[in-house]
Amino acid sequence: MGFAEALADDGKLSGRGKPYLRGLVCGLMTIAGGIGHTLPYLISNFFTATAIAAVVVVIELLAIAYIQWRYMDTPPFSAAAKVMLGGGLVLATGVLIGSS
């Protein structure tokens, strides 16, 4: 993810800053987001780990909606709807893959 962001552009055209810094930040945030809901599976009880992971995912989705509303001028309802739709699609994909 970070590598793709660093290669996206040199930052001059979009004004988004230096590519290596953007790549580093994007990579670190990808790690932070992914590790939050996978670490609970170090717990030996599957159902407890899944419940904790679900709570972490809900907190992550709420944070994304808040950031979109607060810093990207997205209306609150629109931000929440986009996040819920995206989260639902990811959940449905996981269920379909897991049941195959």
Let me know whether 32 and 61 are in one domain: no
Let me know whether 31 and 73 are in one domain: no
Let me know whether 13 and 52 are in one domain: no
Q: Which residue has the higher pLDDT, 89 or 10?
A: 89
Average pLDDT over every residue of 2-11: 57
Let me know whether 27 and 67 are in one domain: no
Let me know whether 25 and 52 are in one domain: no
C-alpha distances in Å from residue 35, one per residue of 4, 24, 80, 88: 20, 16, 23, 20
Q: Which residue has the higher pLDDT, 81 or 29?
A: 81
Domain count, the chain: 2
CA distance 32 to 40: 14
Let me know whether 53 and 97 are in one domain: yes
Supply the range of the domain harboring residue 95.
Answer: 43-100
CA distance 29 to 6: 14
Average pLDDT over every residue of 1-30: 67
Using alpha carbons, select from 99, 96, 91 the residue that is nearest to residue 61: 91
pLDDT tens track for 57-88: 889 889 888 988 888 888 999 989 988 998 88
Question: pTM of the entire structure?
Answer: 0.68
